[in-house]
Structure 1
Amino acid sequence: MTLFAEAPDTVQAARNMARTALEDWGLNELAEDVRLTISELVGNVLHHAIPDDCLAVPGAPRRIDVTLRKWPDWLVIGVTDEDSHPPTLPIGEGFSPQLVGDLQEALIPDHGRGLLIIQRLADAVWWSPGETGGKTVLCRFNLSAGSGTQSP
């Protein structure tokens, strides 16, 4: 599905497409996690992506491509944008929550919260640069317990 960042219902359209695909595939149990993941990924494009010079067209809307692919063992989500800068994927906890005490808000990073949520929901998260610019952020959900490893 191709969306445009300037449309007022971009995130909702992506979420609805995901819901319809998951219903068609009989994967309703993943609906909320997948819809939240897509909301975060598309939201990141809306708020942070700046098209590469080679892809930017003055006055043209920013393009966002959302794909869902189902294999027997995996569901893969891909969100492609026109900005080749890599996403800031959180690499883990910087400190122990037990050391924070009553200041739980200190555990919430200033940026990357959406990708942190996605890393908690999905079985794998990675990104790939586009051949002529831009990038795709991908997430994998394992559909069966014996589907294999945690690497993309």
Structure 2
Amino acid sequence: MLKNECAVPRGGLTVPLLARPEELSRLRRLTRSYLELWELEALADTAQLCVSELVANVILHIGEGTPITLRFSAHGWRLRIELTDPEPHRIPVLLSALEEAESGRGMALLDAIAADWGVALHADGKVTWCELDTVPGAPEHLPENPRPVGADVLLNLYGRTEPTSGRLGDAVTEDAAVRLIADVLHWLSAHGHDPDTALDHAQTRFEAMTAETSRWN
């Protein structure tokens, strides 16, 4: 099978809701329907379990009725499930077996069934995410490129904290990125570095990373 034939389609689904126990059955049905649409039925049971654990963790540790956003996306050989909540100070942790017996399964089940998981902090909340392999034996170094994700975190902290969409959202994002780059260049100059040299090095690095990424697309 060719490399591109086993890569899952690109796209995404975003579901805003309130973290309540009665929403779990609807989310499980939605998860299965969406993965069937993507022809990823084999992952449906595992993905449903991940969704249930992510939402249940918010209900248990932040509170029932917390506004959350669930997002599914597929990149390369990974299905990614993200849950956004407004509480950046309560970070999910992997508990010991004894601690899990006291407080529930916690993130241990997620750690056992997902290919990878983690937490990304933002100025106004956090994203707890997990990834599932869509192809058995997929190379471990092919998850979503973390650099754009890291840049998005920087832009959120820099000032793009309100969600935007469409052309306006693109313009706001580009303006924030340009201002961030300009401020970094001013910082370099103020500390005795040559901004032009830094830009040249950044361009060379960007081209090298782009060439490396294109090998897998």
Change (3 A) 1:89 1:112: farther
Query: Which structure has more helix as a fraction of its residues?
Result: 2
Which runs of structure 2 are paired with 1:90-101 in the superposition (5 Å)? 90=95
- SS of residue matched to 1:9: helix
Which residue of structure 2 lines up, in the alignment, with residue 137 of structure 1? Answer: 128
- SS of residue matched to 1:19: helix
One-letter identity of the residue aligned with 1:118:
L
Please report the RMSD computed on the Cα atoms of aligned residues, expressed in angstroms: 2.6
Moved more, 117-126 or 9-18: 9-18
Q: State, as a whole percentage, how many aligned pairs show the same letter.
A: 27
TM-score normalised by length of structure 2? 0.52
The count of residues paired between Structure 1 and Structure 2 equals 128
Question: Could you report, residue by residue, the CA deviation over 1:57-95 in whole angstroms, capped at 9, with x for unpaired residues?
Answer: xxxx521110110123100000111111211224xx67x
Which residue of structure 1 lines up, in the alignment, with residue 42 of structure 2? Answer: 29
Matched-pair contact (CA < 8 Å) for 2:114–2:132 = yes
> Unmatched 5+ residue regions in structure 2?
1-14, 147-217
Q: Which of 1 and 2 has higher RCO (CA within 8 Å, sep 6+)?
A: 1
Task: Pick the structure with greater CA Rg.
Answer: 2
- For residue 111 of structure 2, the aligned residue among 113, 119, 125 is 119
One-letter identity of the residue aligned with 1:44:
N
Residue 130 (structure 1) shift: 2.0
Partners of 1:108 and 1:89 lie apart in 2 by 9
Which residue of structure 2 lines up, in the alignment, with residue 68 of structure 1? Answer: 72
One-letter identity of the residue aligned with 2:94:
L
> Unmatched 5+ residue regions in structure 1?
52-60, 95-105
Partners of 2:108 and 2:142 lie apart in 1 by 16
